[in-house]
A and B are shown apart, each in its own frame.
Chain A
Amino acid sequence: MAAEKMALAKAINESLRRALESDPKVLVMGEDVGKLGGVFRVTDGLQKDFGESRVIDTPLAESGIVGTAIGLALRGYRPVVEIQFDGFVFPAYDQIVTQLAKMHARSLGKVKLPVVIRIPYGGGIGAVEHHSESPESLFAHVAGLKVVSPSNASDAYWMMQQAIQSDDPVIFFEPKRRYWDKAEVNPEAIPGPLHRAQVVRAGTDLTLVAYGPMVKLCQEVADAAAEEGKSLEVLDLRSVSPLDFDAIQASVEKTRRLVVVHEAPVFFGSGAEIAARITERCFYHLEAPVLRVGGYHAPYPPARLEEEYLPGLDRVLDAVDRALAY
């Protein structure tokens, strides 16, 4: 594969293909991932090229998918499993939390479980109930799991490579509303570390922190703010666990103001953890309290209300104005 511009979904597909080619122990498994190529076509063509033994259509049972992936990992395989939608991960939550996350510690380091769990997540695509959620905090809260979410095609390609190579279980949240956004992917590039944040736009007046689908929004917010003469820095966290607090701290020590944006509900969301820790680390630098913009403490609403529920340009700008007003 040469360097080319491709959609985020295609980048994951290419990354899975590369992993399947380079390591015979890598497996892809999930509901409809084989013949259909996944409901979002992320695994399109993989079963045709690698066979049913390596790209596995599974029974419709999420706990079974993750539980058998654990067994396959114990046998030396590196399964990449797909949970079809965010809201369907909960039958597997028990296996993920009680088994996958803890096996390495329980075995005093003797057992490693290199399992990647891909979860298309987030809203904004007009879907029905249980197809638009952002449960990343529920996984970040669990020791033993790593949680990442790319915001663009290039990161999606490289972060998937790194997640598969990781000897720890990785929950890989894919921003489904960005699946069709294109960016240049260069398979010859040398990627940065998986759990390091990236400044995607430099600024001086305030830091916007986001990951996954909200990075693009924050870049648009920064554009709009620039027209009003405000210089916003945008930090793409990429990883929710571990979280790159050093990068946030470095940015906030410069800008002195921080707004965290995510689709997940604000209450007990990753923004709460960021606010607490950055307040502790940057107490004397902050000119304003850390503000958060996210979903409300309500079930994800029907599609015709989701634009009101999700953080949008104006809601983030409103938070930016409030932070700058201190």
Chain B
Amino acid sequence: MTVESTAARKPRRSAGTKSTAGKRTTASTAPGAEPELVQLLTPEGERVKNAEYDKYVAGITPDELRGLYRDMVLTRRFDAEATSLQRQGELGLWASLLGQEAAQIGSGRATREDDYVFPTYREHGVAWCRGVDPANLLGMFRGVNNGGWDPNSNNFQLYTIVIGSQTLHATGYAMGVAKDGADSAVIAYFGDGASSQGDVAESFTFSAVYNAPVVFFCQNNQWAISEPTEKQTRVPLYQRAQGYGFPGVRVDGNDVLAVLAVTKWALERARSGEGPTLVEAYTYRMGAHTTSDDPTRYRGDEERLSWEAKDPILRLRRYLEASNHTDEGFFTELEEESEALGKRVREAVRAMPDPDHFAIFENVYADGHALVDEERAQFAAYQASFADGEGA
């Protein structure tokens, strides 16, 4: 297993370009060996030094560390509430992020307000960091809309269900950022399954060719529904970047501090005109793919238990406690805040009205379309034909 403590960062593959990447170019991983990954907190909560990435979290305050912990706890609580709401029949489906809190909070908190995020459908923790109301995420899972938030109010694009499509949108957006001469960056989320998609490969090509300021953030959670990562790739995913001419790095995806540091580094590269970076956050999908999935059909408890020992929340708690950054009051208050969040989300979902029937015809086109108008009128006439019979 690879998520073991490593005090010194070992060499990793990266592209031999003349940027920062060049300086970081080192020997490749030996065939068959598991590559090293960047880790700043061991599963036991010990802080380990890292010559390259420490500086990206050097100034972090106890308050900010508690903030990361709070983000992860609240995200997990929200996620659990959504799973319950699905079981209660309030949601049609839920895609849980359980186990991926550090990967999402660490990367989400690395972004700046003017950066732009392109998520899949599981980035609830990133959405939280971007200030998207958690209740808003549930509309599509309840079936009242197919999105429902304004991407531009939080620079957080709508969830994308088609696997990998958003990596191209992120690349195009980043090309636009570069054309505008802006110094913001773009981050595209995707998973180990998506790494097999042509769109992801094409987004690597386009971003490399145009030197687009985009970070490709791959959460390798080991499973694409029932298919393990070995069904997607024969090389560690972060090494794919090398073939495109930009650096790739594997980070312990259950270590919020390491994810924060590595993502900050990658975003700064983008901002300073050094082009794309691939970050592979090595993590684990603790739950099912979605509430419709049954992981007992394809994986055993042993694997899950081994990852539970590397839980992202537990490890930061250990670190906070060992560093005397928290007291019992902090955890009690957070517990209360979590329950309040659960309650608020529950009530918001139950109060979510079904959409108006005519919403079918809304926003199909920005400038209108004669056929949509005609069919809306037919639908209205059809519905009106029942008016007399109502209440009879």
Check if A and B associate: yes
- Chain A residues 98 to 136 lying within 8 A of chain B, measured CB to CB, are 98-99, 102-112
Check if A108 sits within 8 Å of B362, measured CB to CB. Answer: yes
Q: Given the complex of chains A and B, what is the CA–CA distance between A107 and B143 in angstroms?
A: 14
B-binding segment of A64-72, A252-260, A264-272? A64-72
Check if B150 sits within 8 Å of A95, measured CB to CB. Answer: no
A108 and B145 contact, Cβ closer than 8 Å, known pairs A70-B168, A95-B168: yes
Q: How many residues of B contact A (CB 8 A)?
A: 42
Q: Given the complex of chains A and B, what is the CA–CA distance between A105 and B359 in angstroms?
A: 10
Q: Which B residues lie within 8 Å of A184 (CB)? A: none
Partner of B176, one of A77, A94, A143: A77
Check if B202 sits within 8 Å of A167, measured CB to CB. Answer: no
How near does chain B come to A145, taking the closest CB pair, in angstroms?
Answer: 9
The closest CB in chain A to the CB of B176 belongs to A75
The closest CB in chain B to the CB of A97 belongs to B162
Check if A59 sits within 8 Å of B364, measured CB to CB. Answer: no
Binding site for B on A (CB under 8 A): 53, 58-59, 61, 63-64, 66-77, 91, 94-95, 98-99, 102-112, 143-144, 146, 166-168, 195, 241-245
Q: Which A residues lie within 8 Å of B203 (CB)? A: 64, 67-68
B138-179: CB near A (< 8 Å → 1, else 0) gives 000000011110111000011010100101111111111101
Q: Given the complex of chains A and B, what is the CA–CA distance between A71 and B175 in angstroms?
A: 8
Check if B202 sits within 8 Å of A63, measured CB to CB. Answer: yes
Partner of B150, one of A102, A110, A241, A242: A110
Q: Which A residues lie within 8 Å of B22 (CB)? A: none
How near does chain A come to B173, taking the closest CB pair, in angstroms?
Answer: 4
Known: A64-B199, A68-B168. 5 other contacts (CB 8 A): A67-B167, A72-B173, A112-B366, A167-B366, A243-B370
- Chain B residues 334 to 392 lying within 8 A of chain A, measured CB to CB, are 362-367, 369-372
Q: Given the complex of chains A and B, what is the CA–CA distance between A208 and B276 in angstroms?
A: 54
Q: Given the complex of chains A and B, what is the CA–CA distance between A144 and B173 in angstroms?
A: 21
A99 and B162 contact, Cβ closer than 8 Å, known pairs A68-B206, A74-B151, A146-B369: yes
Let me know if B232 is at the binding interface, CB within 8 A.
no
Check if A94 sits within 8 Å of B165, measured CB to CB. Answer: yes
Q: Given the complex of chains A and B, what is the CA–CA distance between A311 and B157 in angstroms?
A: 46
Q: Given the complex of chains A and B, what is the CA–CA distance between A99 and B162 in angstroms?
A: 9
Binding site for A on B (CB under 8 A): 145-148, 150-152, 157-158, 160, 162, 165, 167-177, 179-180, 198-199, 202-203, 205-206, 209, 362-367, 369-372
The closest CB in chain A to the CB of B372 belongs to A143
How near does chain A come to B389, taking the closest CB pair, in angstroms?
Answer: 27
Check if B365 sits within 8 Å of A144, measured CB to CB. Answer: yes
Q: Which A residues lie within 8 Å of B202 (CB)? A: 59, 61, 63-64, 67
Q: Given the complex of chains A and B, what is the CA–CA distance between A195 and B147 in angstroms?
A: 29
The closest CB in chain B to the CB of A194 belongs to B367
Check if A61 sits within 8 Å of B146, measured CB to CB. Answer: no
Q: Given the complex of chains A and B, what is the CA–CA distance between A67 and B171 in angstroms?
A: 8
Nearest 10 Cβ contacts at the A-B interface: A71-B172, A67-B168, A75-B176, A68-B172, A64-B202, A167-B366, A71-B173, A109-B363, A106-B147, A71-B169
Q: Given the complex of chains A and B, what is the CA–CA distance between A195 and B371 in angstroms?
A: 12
Check if B180 sits within 8 Å of A75, measured CB to CB. Answer: yes
How near does chain A come to B390, taking the closest CB pair, in angstroms?
Answer: 29
Check if A64 sits within 8 Å of B366, measured CB to CB. Answer: no
The closest CB in chain B to the CB of A74 belongs to B173
How near does chain B come to A64, taking the closest CB pair, in angstroms?
Answer: 3
How near does chain A come to B210, taking the closest CB pair, in angstroms?
Answer: 8
Q: Which A residues lie within 8 Å of B165 (CB)? A: 67, 94-95, 98-99
How near does chain B come to A88, taking the closest CB pair, in angstroms?
Answer: 14
Pick from A72, A144, A168 the residue with the most CB of B within 10 Å. A72
The closest CB in chain B to the CB of A60 belongs to B205
Check if A108 sits within 8 Å of B147, measured CB to CB. Answer: yes
Pick from B168, B174, B198 the residue with the most CB of A within 10 Å. B168
Q: Which A residues lie within 8 Å of B199 (CB)? A: 63-64, 67, 94-95
How near does chain A come to B72, taking the closest CB pair, in angstroms?
Answer: 29
Check if A102 sits within 8 Å of B146, measured CB to CB. Answer: yes
Q: Which B residues lie within 8 Å of A244 (CB)? A: 370
Q: Which A residues lie within 8 Å of B362 (CB)? A: 105, 108-109
Q: Which B residues lie within 8 Å of A112 (CB)? A: 366
How near does chain B come to A3, taking the closest CB pair, in angstroms?
Answer: 28
The closest CB in chain A to the CB of B146 belongs to A106
Check if A143 sits within 8 Å of B364, measured CB to CB. Answer: yes
Q: Which A residues lie within 8 Å of B369 (CB)? A: 146, 168, 241-242
How near does chain A come to B141, taking the closest CB pair, in angstroms?
Answer: 14
Q: Which A residues lie within 8 Å of B173 (CB)? A: 71-72, 74-75
Q: Which A residues lie within 8 Å of B151 (CB)? A: 74, 107, 110-111
- 24 A-B contact pairs sorted by A residue (CB < 8 Å): A59-B206, A61-B206, A63-B168, A64-B199, A67-B167, A67-B202, A67-B203, A68-B175, A68-B203, A69-B172, A70-B172, A74-B151, A74-B169, A75-B180, A91-B198, A98-B162, A99-B162, A104-B366, A105-B146, A106-B158, A109-B362, A110-B152, A166-B367, A241-B369
Check if A107 sits within 8 Å of B147, measured CB to CB. Answer: yes
Q: Given the complex of chains A and B, what is the CA–CA distance between A111 and B145 in angstroms?
A: 15
